[in-house]
Amino acid sequence: SGNKSDGASFGFKMYILLVLTLNATGYILLIRYTRSRDDVPMYFSTTTVLLSECSKLSISLILLIKEHKSVVGMIRDVYHNVLCNPSDTFKMCIPSIIYALQNNLAFVALSNLDAATYQITYQLKIITTAVFMVVMIGKKINPMQWLAIFLLFAGVAAVQVESANTKEDMKHYNYMKGLISIIVSCLCSGFAGVYFEKVLKGTETTLWIRNVQMYLFGILSGLVAVFTKDYNNVMTHGFLYGYDVYVFVIIGMASIGGLYTSIVVKYLDNIIKGFSTAVSIVMAALGSFLFFGKSFGYLFMGGSVLVTVAIYLYSLPKPAAGGPQKARGPQ
């Protein structure tokens, strides 16, 4: 399975991962910013999640038009592989429901606690993802690699503690509600990510058709969320109540982040995605220290060392029975 990643160059992968990390950080900061303002009317977050799914569907269809170099080609592809293939299409039902839950929970969490706590706690996802890789794909992870996964979690968390701006006022705080939302999010993200990977790599259906299937159900799930949580709000105030440019930027970032996530899972895998985003987080923190001329402290340095050791330990060759095995680690 090491050959799965051969389809793209190293530089391309690094570029994708850096965009993914920077985009995710901006996304989280912007959600936190818009959810903690109290001088403007508050938008309904379920509508934002729904519009993100619509946006990702539109972009996927446009990419399919480009791929086929014709609108008719795109329509044919979607007709044959989505509409006429319901059993295949329905495979995307479960992950898109779980992602809908996770995407809505991000707004709940960031309405209740600060962005730094969110990003740090969210790193727990590294561990939940590994557990689901073992349980669902049957991936073999040896004790040394488990150690690496825990060190990675600790290292990234430490780096983020130091680079985070914690001087935020504590209004709207419901810490418990926020934390529980994050923990459920980590379980959702791990499960849905591995599920998507398993279906994507286990069948012939192309990435963009998978995404079209995913976002069709995503729109349905998003609609259910709007109806169950904000039906009365939308009916009295309107669907786009409280929207301003920031909210539209959030939708744009959610689209970029989601589509890039699917590309990363196609060319790499969910665990390597965790390792690689860890590296980009360290790089981004380093960049911001250098950029703002700040000196970095022990937490950043210690955290970076932990991340580096984790990568080394994870990529050590496995002492397998029956012959030498190739190292499987982040490349």
Summarize as ranges the residues that interact with ligand NCC (CB under 6 A): 20, 23-24, 27-28, 56, 99, 103, 106, 189, 193, 196, 211, 214, 253-254, 257-258, 260-262, 277
CB 206 within 8 A of CB 148: no
**Closest CB to ligand NCC among 103 and 304?**
103
The CB-of-280 to ligand NCC minimum distance in angstroms stands at: 10
**Closest CB to ligand NCC among 239 and 260?**
260
The CB-of-125 to ligand NCC minimum distance in angstroms stands at: 6
The CB-of-266 to ligand NCC minimum distance in angstroms stands at: 9
**Closest CB to ligand NCC among 189 and 304?**
189
The CB-of-326 to ligand NCC minimum distance in angstroms stands at: 26
- Alpha helix (H) ranges present in 113-206? 115-122, 125-137, 143-163, 175-202
Q: Six-digit token pair at 143?
A: 């004790």
SS3 label, residue 212: helix
* Phi (first) and psi of residue 84, to 5 degrees: -85, 5
The CB-of-122 to ligand NCC minimum distance in angstroms stands at: 6
SS3 label, residue 269: coil
**Closest CB to ligand NCC among 19 and 316?**
19
- Residue 270 burial (C-beta neighbours within 10 Å; 0-12, 13-18, 19+): buried
Q: CB-based contacts of 159: which residues, under 8 Å, 6+ apart?
A: 281, 282, 285, 299, 300, 303, 304, 307
**Closest CB to ligand NCC among 142 and 206?**
206
**Closest CB to ligand NCC among 59 and 319?**
59
CB 201 within 8 A of CB 136: no
